[in-house]
Amino acid sequence: MGDIIQLLPDHVANQIAAGEVVQRPASVVKELLENAIDAKANTIKLIVKDGGKALIQIVDDGTGMTATDARLSFERHATSKIRKAEDLFDLDTKGFRGEALASIAAIAHVDMQTKPAETELGTHLKIEGSKVTSQEVAAVPKGTSIAVKNLFFNIPARRNFLKSNQVELRHITDEFHRVALAHPSIAFHFYNNGSELFNLPKANYRQRIVHIFGAKTNQKLVPVSEDTQVVKVSGFINKPEFSKKSRGEQFFFVNNRFIKSPYLHHAVVAAFEGLIRPDTYPGYFLYLEVDPGSIDINIHPTKTEVKFDDEHTLYAILRSTIKHGLGQFNVIPALDFEQDRNLDTPYAYKDKAASLPGVTVDAGFNPFQEVAQGKGTSTSNRYKSSFGSQSTSKSWDSLYVGLESDLESSEGFSSMKFESDLGTGSIFDGKHEAEESHATTFQLKRKYIVTTIKSGMVVIDQSRAHQRVLYEKFLKNITIKEAVSQQLLFPLVLSFSKSDMRMLKDIKDSLATTGFVFGKLEEEQIEITGVPLLVAESEVGMVLDQLISDCQMEVSADSFSQTDLLAKTLAKTLSVKTGEALDPSSQLALVNDLFACKETQVSPFNKPVYITITENDIDKRFI
């Protein structure tokens, strides 16, 4: 048997490494932005076309590279950050593994122009699929410009897995936010398809947050700060009333590097316990400074996951710091020792209910009793049933002196017809009334609706059933464009970030077909003058937040897909949730609406809506 193990060619090894480093265009943006920061740049420009598929270009005014360094930077494991293994545990830079440029050059066309400050001429380098096609001397400005074109041109399978341009742009924007928030001392410019998306000047942390997420963000922020021997915590948290349904505006930075840590996120949520609803998430921008030797940032290729030496201590410090910040700025209730104690409710009365004043009513009073008795029994019986006893107050007798002769000469009360409120007619015929009386539904654990059928019974998931009903209703309204809108007495003004406003403008026409009526659209504010009938005014902000989040991550170029997504999001947001109590009439209405839909078995998200338990299934349980 011959030898079967062989070394991989360099271009194949680079493509395999690229699969770990470059997952999508946003990965390229992250690596190149970090290289520009390590080059001590003061201004960085990011230029993107077609969601990064056609072009990703980073221009910085950093230190630049010589011709030798420019050529060597595209070799695997070539780096200026580390010299020995011990340096891995004392890192204060971003890129350090030396695989980013080599991986990017293996799957794209790369054009680099670079020049150090001390030289007059720079270097212009072109690489296609790890092969250097040209290298020449050129007159270029100080710093480095790297243009990555036609990403995954030589790996069609990977390119086919990329999402739409809008989704990829969203991922690029997220990476841009993470880098820009960590380095407010650097000016950033972001261009997409020739239009400027962000122009961020040098600022402090609070100003950088406001520049990215809008001017209204300033009033949401609560500063937090704590300095211990283990960690130094600083940054901002959002006030509890601004918590959202979606996981947005949540950022952890460790030594100016963005990380993801579910464990530390749980510490933040624990600090907000009791202040926000269970199904909402707080926003935060937290900067942690720890000893570089106490963390390991090389456990994941994307370097967004780190390992701490003492996570339990960090958890406790972070939670107490946030609680202290919330209390210091009067966000949570606090004891006030200067309050006038005379205004407090005594403990002896804290469980006592207010006593209602009593009103005495004479149920037997009947001013028409004598007339009724004198003129007939039918009228007397009618009033006897309405007013009760026949005894009257003698003080009212004087009011009827002289009226008997007039009443006897006229038709009197016996000929008058009085409206009775004892019996009311039914608006349904007897058949429908009988059917409704036999219809039986009950709610199980405030989650399921159980109803009977001929063969047994049906258990319906109330949330999924309502999602299906609303989905078909919204889809019909959007398609035929005949949605009903309720006008607001006072226009509702909501604030969003610039990127969110761009998404709202893109789906504005589709939203109008569901019943939304828009007024003024400004750069960071939107005015709403009408909402669909099913949307309460207090839920408009929550609905639009969820809609923006879903559209940015899933929307495609197909108009039908956008319409379908819009109907799904509205149905998911406005549907009855698990845990809500429904009265019998609402339960019956939901069951009838569900089985009037075109599709009843699955929800809009392809999950089963109900299960059927036949009489035979029940009988088998008793065998």
Mean pLDDT, the chain, whole residue set: 79
Token readout for 359 is 């009103």
Question: What are the tens digits of pLDDT across the range 402-418?
Answer: 555 555 555 555 555 55
Question: What are the tens digits of pLDDT across the range 110-130?
Answer: 999 999 988 899 999 999 988
pLDDT for res 61? 92
How many other CB atoms are found less than 10 A from the CB of residue 462? 26
User: Are the C-beta atoms of residues 584 and 441 closer than 8 Å to each other?
Assistant: yes
Of 339-353, 449-463, 487-501, give the range with the top mean pLDDT.
449-463
- Report CA-CA distances (Å) from 462 to 320, 589, 599: 40, 11, 15
Contacts of 136 (CB under 8 A, 6+ apart): 123, 124
pLDDT for res 534? 74
Domains and CATH numbers, the chain: 10-200 (3.30.565.10), 213-328 (3.30.230.10), 365-392 (no CATH), 441-611 (3.30.1370.100)
- Dist CA 96 CA 78 (whole Å): 9
Record the pTM. 0.68
- Dist CA 108 CA 466 (whole Å): 48
User: Are the C-beta atoms of residues 205 and 236 closer than 8 Å to each other?
Assistant: yes
End-to-end CA distance of the chain: 64
For residue 272, give the 3-state DSSP assignment.
coil
pLDDT for res 298? 64
Contacts of 186 (CB under 8 A, 6+ apart): 37, 41, 42, 43, 44, 180, 202
The beta-strand segments (E) located in 64-142 are 109-115, 122-128, 131-138
* 289 DSSP β-pair partners: 232
pLDDT for res 59? 95
For residue 30, give the 3-state DSSP assignment.
helix
pLDDT for res 435? 44
- Report CA-CA distances (Å) from 296 to 97, 183, 538: 14, 21, 45
pLDDT at 165 over 70: yes
Q: Name which of 260-264, 297-301, 458-462, 470-474 the model is least confident about.
A: 297-301
